[in-house]
Structure 1
């Protein structure tokens, strides 16, 4: 498969590497002038979770191909779109004007309804999914990141094209990933967004994620924030999964301890979180978009979120 990755970001780079190793042709689209800035290689320091639960270390110099222009009649089979939440609108405009006949795989956080999010994209070419990884760049060329075995994808029943859906499932499975299919991808997005919003709000209050993960007691308030935000899912036309409702209605101290152990117990997820914050690749301002967007929607819908409102000074947009 011929794949165009939008931007030379964290997700595009590590999944691009894995997909190229599986025999696919991979290229990056970058803004004019960025190819010279980045140079033609990335020094990878990855934890590859496809064959080991703690991740197999990968350290290599990977030479890449970047494009600063894309013809509308290009021959890419897949466009991989995964950018920071606040960058998506601009990125989708660029991709929409250059989509050609490619399948567009959205690997992004989503909070607004999918029709609004994808307004600039050809709807019959979109597949909705989400990665299982993270990390950051140290300097402009060294990527310190990692990814889990699973990626998330909407089910064939909800996909705009069964053929496009199967081709993407095959692509990732042939590269050694497992594909977790979601019956309602938008409900899954909302749940994930609320998890991010609760963790981000508490981490911003504590000064960093690493400070928050010093004790289960510091994680507990994040769980209480998520519990408070749970009605937002129904207000946006979806129903929270049984697992989500169960987790957020168990004693917050118990769940907080579980999250604390997940992050600090030598797990791959914990190592990825450490790399993401250590590199400071995504600034606190980007994390603030999660609670900020939830609170703005809550006010629009008339839903009271007192815990989140009390933390607003930590994530309010600066003048």
Structure 2
């Protein structure tokens, strides 16, 4: 299968490497000028957890294009949330009828998030990995599981194509019945974490404070009225963050989920992305329906986002 990844970010690079290992042809589309900046290879230092826990360390040659070439079987889009609108606008004229997987965090209504693309040509999913890129070195990794929406009427062919692609590379698919609800919950959880990151200064710093995840739980509780106003139902993770007492929640995250040496902890430690946009999106939505979010607003003080709310 010939696969095009939109952008050469952490998620795109890791899954592209896995697909190439499985025999697929993978290319990257990058913006003008990025091909020279990125170069023809990237240094990988990432954990592959599809079969056990294996550290991949290699210099990987990549194919970057600054123009959209024809004849791809699948396009996979995994970009920063604030870049998604620009990406789909470009693909609406450049992608033709090529099936597209939106492998992204999304807070908007799914249909409006990809306009003017056709919903029948798009499926939504979410990766099971993380990390960061600095000085052309990727540090991070991915788990065996990825999340994919169950077929909607008209998307059966695209879903089957995406399914075959990931399974050929030995990934396991967790099928999501209501992807809109799943992504709303996940985006809110991400905003709850980013709120704490804004206070601490970075994702790695989040892990160095004992009460960080207790605060993440309190941030999540504050967003429940907003999720309900949107018509969302709380999923298992949201219930965990909002029902368990904050002190116990902090212990659970520090001693179990993000225990030292675990892959989830490493993904956060390597995450050098800029926090704040998810929080801004949530606060903007809350303003429209009159839901107060004092904890999230407070985190914006002394940041560049303060003037935007």
Correspondence 1:272 to 2:260: no
Q: TM-score, normalising length from structure 2?
A: 0.93
Which 5+ residue runs of structure 1 have no aligned equivalent?
none
3-state SS, counterpart of residue 189 of structure 1 = helix
- The SS at the match of 1:230 is helix
- 2:168 equivalent among 167, 174, 177: 174
| Correspondence 1:293 to 2:304 | no
**Contact (CA 8 Å) 2:190, 2:278: kept in 1 or not?**
yes
Report the secondary structure of 2:67's partner residue. Answer: coil
Q: How far apart are 1:213 and its partner, in Å?
A: 1.9
Aligned residue in 2 for 1:18: 18
**Could you say what secondary structure the match of 2:270 adopts?**
helix
Partner of 1:130: 126
Distance 1:24 1:236, change over 3 A: same
Question: Aligned ranges for residues 194-205 of structure 1 at < 5 Å?
Answer: 194-205=188-199
Aligned to 2:43: 43
Do structure 1's residue 92 and structure 2's residue 88 form an aligned pair? yes
Which whole-Å deviations, capped at 9, do the CAs of 1:97-130 have from their partners, x for residues lacking one?
1122211100111001112101132221101001
| 1:81 pairs with 2:69 | no
Tell me the TM-score normalized by structure 1: 0.91
* Contact 2:5/2:75, CA 8 A, preserved across alignment: yes
Partner of 2:59: 61
What SS does structure 2 have at the residue aligned with 1:164? helix
Aligned residues: 306
Q: Distance in 2 between matches of 1:290 and 1:300?
A: 16
Q: CA deviation at 1:93?
A: 1.2
Q: Which residues of 2 match residues 126-275 of structure 1 at below 5 A? A: 126-139=122-135, 141-156=136-151, 158=152, 160-261=154-255, 262-275=257-270
Q: Is residue 42–residue 61 contact of structure 2 (8 Å, CA) maintained in 1?
A: yes
The two structures, once aligned, show a CA RMSD in angstroms of 1.7
What displacement does 1:268 show? Answer: 0.6
* Regions of 4+ moved over 3 Å: none
Structure 1 CA distance, aligned partners of 2:260 and 2:15?
A: 25
